């Protein structure tokens, strides 16, 4: 009996000892963490974390702007607002990294970062989840601050109330002119840490997302790095792993697309944790050293709102001495939407054209012609003054776009056919002109005396000869309804691949591809003043079939 009691006493003592050890260990760690966050210039100082959470009344914040039964849950944000509100702000998500990532260790003395989140009328639930995921899944000493830049949202409490959260600061633009690009520049200007982390306002960062990014920047500050962007489903808010064998690419119209790594590139990748060099970044989420961001010229702040800025910064980083990488061991989820929930002051498409046109004019050298050929609507569009950006490029002694294509993105096919050109189409002293008609009819075509003011032809006599052999003016192309001799040539909406719209210059003739007839003119009524444009069987001797196309490269 006594022996039993002694054994019991001994094991109890042992248990107590272990408990004491655990208590001491945990307590010590907590102290350490507290020390780490001390001396933090961000506002909270040594205020306890939990107290800060307590100061923020989450339910009240969310309830004030809630979806109401009967409303379309997609109306405001183009994603399912009701579902987003049903999901807790600190929900657990699947760790989507390759298992080998979990075995990697990073130095503890990585540089802390300022997280910059810009938004305009973001749903409170998604914005809050973005911030909470950062606070919950990042070692606190690596977050210097979270800067929210509210681009003039309707409700100023969206941002203001969030500054009660730990590390969070709120900046608000006093009018809606800034857009994402200028808001980010504003945030970067205020940021106090040496590294900037740009995040979108409807994200959820995943486990250990930040150290792998900071690690690459610490090794080489000219790197600009982004995580693999996982997908948060816009209907269900399910968190779905994205492929980590993707990189950013584009076509000549400067349309961004995710591209599979080629078989060759995949074969070279023995280690799935290795960074992936990418020709362009998607633009929403990336990390860059602040002095490098400033040195490279931040952003082109003459661009409007959103769109195309990711090409500009991508070309600039590569051509001016840096590099772009996707880090497979860093994962951040993002709600991908099918459309934009808000209106652009100049219209969505116009803004995109202006921004990409500025990019093409500053960075793409002679290759900009391929951009214009692929995006004819950009021709003749105003795009503002680019002198400052051109001189930035000179000062930084950046490489050519040819270098970029050869070294960074050799996979991009350069169109083989001749480039689009524009100019007048002349028969002796007369030019083909489009003339507006009454009503909804498309303009008619006539041969009239060429007119030019100081060497500049009027728009109505200016034609584009495209890579696919169309003769176009804006969205309209020279075409015919039937293939009979004497058929009038008319302007119809351009349709790629329509043989009735293809023309080829053969000697002094302009041959119509579908009919093998030649472009010709015919007298209207009995006046010689103006002639209509027709097709007729080709005749070498007919003066009315002799044409000169006075074309120059597009800009």
Residues 455-484 touching Mn ion, rule: CB under 5 A, are none
d(CA 401, CA 319): 7
Q: How far is the CB of 211 from Mn ion (least distance, A)?
A: 24
Smallest distance, Å, CB 508 to Mn ion?
55
119 or 372: whose CB is closer to Mn ion?
119
Nearest distance, CB of residue 202 and Mn ion, angstroms: 6
Give the separation between CA 59 and CA 168, rounded to whole angstroms. 18
Strand partners, 150: 119, 172
Instruction: Check: CB of residue 212 under 8 Å from CB of residue 108.
Output: no
Residue 72: C-alpha distances to residues 76, 335, 370, 396, 486 (Å): 8, 18, 42, 50, 57
By beta-carbon proximity to Mn ion, the closer residue of 333 and 376 is: 333
Nearer to Mn ion, 29 or 337 (CB): 337
Size of the residue set binding Mn ion (CB under 5 A): 1
Least distance to Mn ion, CB of residue 348, Å: 14
Using the minimum distance from each CB to Mn ion, give the nearer residue, 85 or 200.
200
The two tokens of residue 30 are 């907590």
User: What is the DSSP track for 253-293?
Assistant: T--EEEEEPPHHHHHH---TTS-EE-SB--SSSEEEEHHHH
CB count within 10 Å of CB 153 equals: 17
| Count of helix runs (H) and strand runs (E) in the chain | 15, 24
**Smallest gap from residue 285 Cβ to Mn ion (A):** 9
The first and second tokens of residue 324, run together, are 């772009």
User: Taking a C-beta distance cutoff of 8 angstroms, is the pair 42, 144 a contact?
Assistant: yes
- Helix ranges (H only) for 108-209 are 124-137, 157-160, 179-190
Residue nearest to Mn ion (CB): 200
User: What's the closest the beta carbon of residue 67 comes to Mn ion, in angstroms?
Assistant: 19
Query: Would you say 250 or 367 has its CB closer to Mn ion?
Result: 250
**Residue 505, phi then psi, degrees to nearest 5:** -85, 115
Smallest distance from Mn ion to CB 334, Å:
6
Rounded Cα–Cα distance for residues 300 and 393 (Å): 12
For the CB of residue 284, give the shortest distance to Mn ion in the complex, in Å. Answer: 5
The yes or no reply on residue 151 touching Mn ion (CB under 5 A) is no
Based on CB atoms, which residue is closest to Mn ion, 200 or 433? 200
Q: How far is the CB of 83 from Mn ion (least distance, A)?
A: 17
* Residue whose CB is less far from Mn ion, 200 or 204: 200
CA 71 to CA 94: how far, in whole Å?
A: 31
Question: Residue 362 and residue 367: Cα distance in Å, rounded?
Answer: 11
In the complex with Mn ion, the residue whose CB is nearer, 250 or 372, is: 250
Nearest to 218 by CA among 140, 118, 113, 316: 113
Dist CA 192 CA 198 (whole Å): 14
Residue 351 CB partners (closer than 8 Å, separation 6+): 304, 305, 306, 307, 344, 345
Task: Between 181 and 534, name the residue whose CB sits nearer to Mn ion.
Answer: 181
Pick out residues in 187-226 that bind Mn ion (CB under 5 A): 200
Least Å from the CB of residue 253 to Mn ion? 21
- Minimal distance, residue 314 CB to Mn ion, in Å: 17
DSSP one-letter code for 453: B
CB closer to Mn ion, 161 vs 199:
199
Phi first, then psi: give them for residue 327, nearest 5 degrees. -105, 105
Residue number with CB closer to Mn ion (133 or 273): 133
Of 332 and 494, which CB lies nearer to Mn ion in the complex structure? 332
Dump the DSSP string for 186-214: HHHHH--SSEEEEE-SSEEE-TT-HHHHH
- Smallest gap from Cβ 200 to Mn ion, in A, equals 4
Quick one: tokens of 160?
């203001």
* Cβ contacts of 270 within 8 Å, gap of 6 or more: none
CA angle 511, 513, 519 (to 5 degrees): 30
Shortest spacing between CB 367 and Mn ion, in angstroms: 29
Nearer to Mn ion among residue 112 and residue 283 (C-beta) = 283
- Give the residues across from 223 on adjacent strands: 323
Query: Can you give the binding site for Mn ion, defined by CB under 5 A?
Result: 200
């Amino acid at each position: 009996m006594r022996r039993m009691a002694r054994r019991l006493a001994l094991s109890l003592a042992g248990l107590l000892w272990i408990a004491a050890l655990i208590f001491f260990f945990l307590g010590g760690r907590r102290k350490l963490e507290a020390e780490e966050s001390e001396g933090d210039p961000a506002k909270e100082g040594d205020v306890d974390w939990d107290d800060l959470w307590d100061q923020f009344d989450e339910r009240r914040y969310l309830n004030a702007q809630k979806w109401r039964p009967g409303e379309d849950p997609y109306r405001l944000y183009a994603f399912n607002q009701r579902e987003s509100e049903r999901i807790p702000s600190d929900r657990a998500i699947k760790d989507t990294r390759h298992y080998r990532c979990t075995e990697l260790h990073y130095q503890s003395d990585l540089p802390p970062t300022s997280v910059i989140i810009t938004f305009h009328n973001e749903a409170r639930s998604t914005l809050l989840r973005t911030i909470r995921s950062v606070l919950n899944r990042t070692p606190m000493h690596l977050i210097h601050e979270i800067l929210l830049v509210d681009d003039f949202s309707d409700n100023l409490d969206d941002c203001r109330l969030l500054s009660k959260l730990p590390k969070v600061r709120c900046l608000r633009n006093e009018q809606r002119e800034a857009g994402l690009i200028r808001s980010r520049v504003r945030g970067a200007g205020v940021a106090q840490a040496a590294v900037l982390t740009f995040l979108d306002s409807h994200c959820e960062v995943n486990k250990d997302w930040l150290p792998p990014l900071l690690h690459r920047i610490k090794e080489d500050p000219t790197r600009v790095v982004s995580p693999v962007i996982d997908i948060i489903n816009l209907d269900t808010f399910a968190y779905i792993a994205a492929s980590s064998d993707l990189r950013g690419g584009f076509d000549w119209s400067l349309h961004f697309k995710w591209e599979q790594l080629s078989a060759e590139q995949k074969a070279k990748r023995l280690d799935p944790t290795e960074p992936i060099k990418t020709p362009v970044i998607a633009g929403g989420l990336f990390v860059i050293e602040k002095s490098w961001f400033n040195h490279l010229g931040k952003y082109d702040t003459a661009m409007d709102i959103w769109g195309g800025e990711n090409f500009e910064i991508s070309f600039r980083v590569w051509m001016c001495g840096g590099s772009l990488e996707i880090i497979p061991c860093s994962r951040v989820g993002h709600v991908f939407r099918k459309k934009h929930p808000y209106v652009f002051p100049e219209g969505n498409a116009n803004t995109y054209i202006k921004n990409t046109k500025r990019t093409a004019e500053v960075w793409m050298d002679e290759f900009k012609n391929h951009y214009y050929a692929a995006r004819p609507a950009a021709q003749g569009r105003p795009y503002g003054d680019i002198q400052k950006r051109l001189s930035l490029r000179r000062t930084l002694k950046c490489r050519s776009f040819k270098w970029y294509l050869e070294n960074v993105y050799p996979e991009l096919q350069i169109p083989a056919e001749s480039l689009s050109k524009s100019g007048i189409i002349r028969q002796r002293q007369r030019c083909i002109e489009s003339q507006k008609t009454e009503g909804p009819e498309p303009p008619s075509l006539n041969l009239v005396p060429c007119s030019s003011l100081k060497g500049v032809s009027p728009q109505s006599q200016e034609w584009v000869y495209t890579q696919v052999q169309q003769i176009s003016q804006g969205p309209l192309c020279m075409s015919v309804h039937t293939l009979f001799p004497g058929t009038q040539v008319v302007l119809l909406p351009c349709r790629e691949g329509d043989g009735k719209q293809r023309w080829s210059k053969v000697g002094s003739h302009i041959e119509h591809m579908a009919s093998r007839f030649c472009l010709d003119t015919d007298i209207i009524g009995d006046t010689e003043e103006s002639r209509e444009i027709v097709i007729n069987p080709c005749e070498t001797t007919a003066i009315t079939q002799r044409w000169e196309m006075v074309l120059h490269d597009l800009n």
